[in-house]
Amino acid sequence: MEEGPYKYIRDGNGKVSRVIRIGTRKSQLARIQTDSVADKLKELYPDVHLEIGEQLQLWILLPGDKTSYLFTKELENALERNEVDLVVHSLKDLPTSLPAGFTIGAVLKRENPHDAVVLHPSNTGKTLDTLPEKSVIGTSSLRRAAQLKKRFPHLEFKDIRGNLNTRLKKLDEKDDFAAIILAAAGLKRMGWENRISLILEPEDCMYAVGQGALAVEVRARDADILEMVSVLHDPDTVLRCIAERAFLKQLEGGCSVPVAVHTKVKDSQLYLTGAVYSLDGSQSIKETMQTSIAPGDERVDEQVQRVGVTAIKVPAEAQDAAERLGVKLADLLLSKGAKEILTVARQLNDAR
């Protein structure tokens, strides 16, 4: 039992249990997201480890003080070297194909996936419609800028970078921006919901693939950890995100192209709306398709990855349907000229 690459701990009674180590980045949002997953695991696991006679422990890697914090790639390296056993990410930051050996073992219930407007304190009470001509809105998201330029032509858009703390500071302490656009989910997790002046409706701004959902990345071969984290999966979120990621992958879009989605599950139907935009939003292609995800054959298959996600316990048939839906919708957009729009957008953005 104490063989192999993993870390074990022996308690005062001589009982040995495997230590589950979680890697995190140092940013406040990353820590909050990691802690929330750790809390869920602690809550869910008392029974299970009593049954199997093991006490799973959670150990958050990296003290807040000195050592370097890890970026997504470094976290994957730490996973590869068995220094950590799982890593928590915002799903929208994970590519649609993961490097060999890794998989997303859980996609947690999605928070509000929409974007939110955070106003400079001097603009309290205003909306994007009523902000004065040439007001500057901060966002580095091509997706947000493209949609909002079209819808609110009187506004200007400028890049704003840095983590959420930095961005809010740049907004509040200077007069460079009239407002910034951020994901509602991130603001909520940070405890800054009171700064949300407005949630953007899909007619104004559709969200990014995977936005608002947390993902747990693990070693694909680590069956014990995969099994353990798989109970965190939220089936509707998984199916929506598989469809969204399959859509993005088929379009050959990365995380920085003007691609947006909207998904819904209702009466065992999965609806996917997807769109691509030119950088100024003047050109766009948007379509909606749906598929049945009705529980039929309840076949579950272990260890099959779809767009990087391994969802043991979620019916395989429904996952296949979700993936096909994303591919079909992308093919429809491609047949209407999506590739040309994205190629030009990419070239113009690279040249900026």
Rule CB under 6 A: which of 282-341 touch ligand DPM? none
Selected from 212, 274, 308, 315, the binder of ligand DPM by CB under 6 A is 212
The two structure tokens encoding residue 311: 């969802």
Indicate which residue of 11, 39, 93, 176 is catalytic. Answer: 93
The CB-of-126 to ligand DPM minimum distance in angstroms stands at: 20
Binding track over 60-79 against ligand DPM, x by CB under 6 A: --------------------
93 tagged catalytic:
yes
User: ∠ CA 170-259-346 to the nearest 5 degrees?
Assistant: 80
The two structure tokens encoding residue 341: 């729009």
> In whole angstroms, what is the distance from residue 58 CA to residue 28 CA?
19
3-state secondary structure 261-323: EEEEEECCEEEEEEEEECCCCCCEEEEEEEEECCCCCCCCCCCCEECCEECCCCCHHHHHHHH
| Binding piece for ligand DPM, criterion CB under 6 A, among 12-20, 54-62, 196-204, 206-214 | 206-214
Compare residues 233 and 328 and give the one whose CB is closer to ligand DPM: 233
Does 263 participate in binding ligand DPM (rule CB under 6 A)?
no
Q: Tell me if 237 sits within 8 A of 213, measured CB to CB.
A: yes
Does 255 participate in binding ligand DPM (rule CB under 6 A)?
yes
Selected from 182, 206, 251, 325, the binder of ligand DPM by CB under 6 A is 182
Q: Residue 89: which of 74, 102, 101, 107 has the closest Cα?
A: 107
Does 186 participate in binding ligand DPM (rule CB under 6 A)?
yes
> In whole angstroms, what is the distance from residue 285 CA to residue 247 CA?
14
Q: Tell me if 92 sits within 8 A of 140, measured CB to CB.
A: no
| Binding piece for ligand DPM, criterion CB under 6 A, among 73-81, 204-212, 231-239, 321-329 | 204-212
Q: How many residues bind ligand DPM (CB under 6 A)?
A: 16
> In whole angstroms, what is the distance from residue 283 CA to residue 147 CA?
10
Selected from 34, 96, 103, 211, the binder of ligand DPM by CB under 6 A is 211
Single-letter residue type at 44: L
88 burial level (CB within 10 Å; 0-12, 13-18, 19+): buried
The CB-of-229 to ligand DPM minimum distance in angstroms stands at: 18
Does 183 participate in binding ligand DPM (rule CB under 6 A)?
yes
Q: Which residues pair with 269 in a beta bridge?
A: 266, 292
The CB-of-182 to ligand DPM minimum distance in angstroms stands at: 4
Does 248 participate in binding ligand DPM (rule CB under 6 A)?
no
> In whole angstroms, what is the distance from residue 81 CA to residue 23 CA?
12
Q: How many CB atoms lie within 10 A of CB 265?
A: 16
Does 176 participate in binding ligand DPM (rule CB under 6 A)?
no
The CB-of-187 to ligand DPM minimum distance in angstroms stands at: 7
Selected from 94, 131, 200, 208, the binder of ligand DPM by CB under 6 A is 208
The CB-of-294 to ligand DPM minimum distance in angstroms stands at: 29
The shares of helix, strand and coil residues in the chain, as percent rounded to the nearest 5, are 35, 25, 40
Q: Residue 20, SS3?
A: strand
Rule CB under 6 A: which of 127-166 touch ligand DPM? 139-141, 143-144
| Binding piece for ligand DPM, criterion CB under 6 A, among 10-18, 65-73, 178-186, 195-203 | 178-186
Selected from 34, 90, 103, 237, the binder of ligand DPM by CB under 6 A is 90
Q: Tell me if 280 sits within 8 A of 152, measured CB to CB.
A: no
Compare residues 186 and 326 and give the one whose CB is closer to ligand DPM: 186
Binding site for ligand DPM (CB under 6 A): 90, 92-93, 139-141, 143-144, 182-183, 185-186, 208, 211-212, 255
Q: Which residues are catalytic?
A: 93
